[in-house]
């Protein structure tokens, strides 16, 4: 009897000991993961690095050693944004062009305003809501980034500016970013300055059709306008204009000229569109896919943009809506513009696209759509490589090589 009681006590003690150990592992293991999942991810990466693997395996993202695919390391994580009925919260972590709301507004306002396909996203700049967010938008041009990473969250590196020469982007290296959100066509989420949509699709989304006319030439008495405030650029566009002016007149407005164009930039372009046939849409940097409002604004204002940049414009802009300087020397470009000026029929052909296409803003629409879809998780160990100036920007001598030999200064 005494031995039976002793065995029961031993078994009870063993059961309580095992229970205590399991309880300790569960409580402290979960707490440690919750407390700082990014720290655990970093520890995991060190462990895998010692094993000779290239991937950074974390508590929430991992890369299969035999592939380039990143998937979820825990059940349900890859479907974190699958619930399309709930709002996806996007946190603007830092200012963009001086605005805390990134010039977009808060809540769902922007997604509704731009008639996004997915509108179940809202924005905030309230950092107290960091733990609630589905995505954190980080302006890669600023040295500010959250110090703690909440569990199951997408960090998005965003910029609409071209790569900065000499910037190492060290504050966002080391696997901190999951997605890139830029004007680059190879970004994880494409975020262009403007979108071009076929008229039927645009009307279905709620965009009004472009205004059309029967004649775009007869009421215009001048040839080329250019509004510019940055007088010394990496693209050396100002030098190209000096050469072009030997063969054709260019009226320059803005900070680089004594002639001013009053009102907002849109008001100014509308005024110029009533007088001028062509507009110089010259980018300040010659970087891959970098195409700004300098191109779409004259299209709105009934002028033909003359484009200068590193783009395959035919793949992005409406057909026969622009003139690319890369196709001409300054002298032959001037000759062609004069031909169009003397032939209203040929000039008006540059506006036929307005019957078939619509130009509109789609800012952050693709980001909201991405958060509603099952996009494979990933990270950037060396994000500087994505914004490398020497790789993704051309020097003036490289760009103008077949256009003119007079622009030879090289910044690379």
Cβ-Cβ contacts under 8 Å for 364 (sequence gap 6 or more): 90, 104, 110, 111, 114, 116, 121, 123, 191
CA 287 to chain centre: 13
Query: Measured between alpha carbons, how far is 288 from 285 in angstroms, rounded to an integer?
Result: 9
In DSSP terms, 121 is beta-bridged to 88
Residue written as tokens 């063993």?
Answer: 14
136 three-class SS: strand
Active-site residue, 161 included: yes
Answer yes or no: are the C-beta atoms of 407 and 237 closer than 8 Å. Answer: no
187 three-class SS: coil
**Length of the chain, in residues:** 412
Backbone angles phi, psi at 116, to 5 degrees: -65, 150
In DSSP terms, 306 is beta-bridged to 280, 323
Neighbours of 58 (CB within 10 A): 24
DSSP string, 189-225: EE--S-EEEEHHHHHHHTPPPPP--S-SSTT--EEEE
> Could you tell me which of 391, 378, 379, 382 has the C-alpha nearest to residue 170?
382
CA 316 to chain centre: 15
Answer yes or no: are the C-beta atoms of 189 and 366 closer than 8 Å. Answer: yes
Answer yes or no: are the C-beta atoms of 349 and 341 closer than 8 Å. Answer: no
> Could you tell me which of 316, 322, 317 has the C-alpha nearest to residue 279?
322
Q: Of 2, 100, 122, 161, which is the active-site residue?
A: 161
Answer yes or no: are the C-beta atoms of 27 and 20 closer than 8 Å. Answer: no
Rounded to a whole number of angstroms, the distance between the first and last alpha carbons of the chain is: 92
380-396 b/e with 16+ CB inside 10 Å = b?
Answer: beebbebbebeebbbbb
The residues assigned a catalytic role are 161
């Amino acid at each position: 009897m005494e031995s039976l009681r002793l065995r029961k006590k031993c078994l009870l003690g063993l059961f309580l000991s095992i229970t205590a150990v399991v309880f300790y592992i569960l409580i402290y293991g979960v707490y440690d993961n919750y407390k700082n999942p990014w720290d655990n991810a970093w520890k995991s990466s060190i462990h895998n690095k010692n094993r000779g693997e290239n991937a950074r395996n974390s508590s929430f993202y991992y890369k299969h050693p035999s592939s380039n695919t990143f998937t979820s390391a825990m059940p349900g994580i890859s479907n974190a944004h699958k619930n399309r009925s709930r709002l996806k919260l996007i946190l603007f972590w830092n200012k963009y062009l001086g605005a805390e709301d990134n010039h977009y507004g808060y809540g769902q306002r922007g997604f509704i305003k731009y008639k996004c396909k997915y509108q179940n996203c809202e924005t905030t700049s309230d950092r107290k809501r960091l733990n609630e967010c589905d995505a954190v938008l980080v302006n890669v041009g600023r040295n500010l980034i959250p110090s703690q990473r909440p569990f199951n969250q997408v960090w998005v590196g965003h910029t609409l500016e071209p790569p900065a020469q000499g910037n190492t982007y060290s504050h966002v290296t080391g696997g901190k970013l999951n997605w890139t959100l830029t004007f680059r066509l190879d970004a994880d989420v494409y975020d262009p300055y403007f979108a071009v949509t076929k008229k039927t699709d645009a009307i279905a989304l709620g965009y009004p059709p472009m205004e059309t006319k029967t004649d775009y030439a007869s009421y215009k008495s001048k040839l080329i306008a250019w509004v510019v405030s940055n007088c010394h650029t990496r693209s050396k566009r100002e030098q190209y204009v000096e050469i072009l002016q030997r063969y054709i007149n260019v009226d320059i407005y803005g900070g680089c000229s004594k002639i001013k164009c009053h009102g907002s930039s849109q008001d100014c372009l509308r005024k110029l569109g009533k007088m001028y046939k062509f507009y110089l849409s010259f980018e300040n940097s010659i970087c891959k896919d970098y195409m700004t409002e300098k191109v779409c604004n004259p299209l709105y204002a009934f002028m033909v943009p003359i484009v200068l940049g590193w783009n395959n414009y035919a793949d992005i802009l409406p057909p026969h809506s622009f003139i690319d300087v890369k196709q001409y020397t300054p002298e032959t470009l001037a000759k062609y513009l004069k031909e169009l000026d003397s032939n209203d029929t040929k000039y008006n052909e540059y506006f036929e696209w307005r019957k078939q296409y619509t130009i509109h803003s789609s800012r952050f629409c693709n980001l909201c759509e991405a958060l509603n879809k099952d996009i494979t998780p990933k990270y950037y160990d060396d994000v500087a490589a994505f914004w490398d100036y020497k790789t993704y920007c051309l020097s003036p001598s490289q760009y103008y090589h077949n256009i003119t030999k007079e622009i030879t200064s090289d910044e690379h």
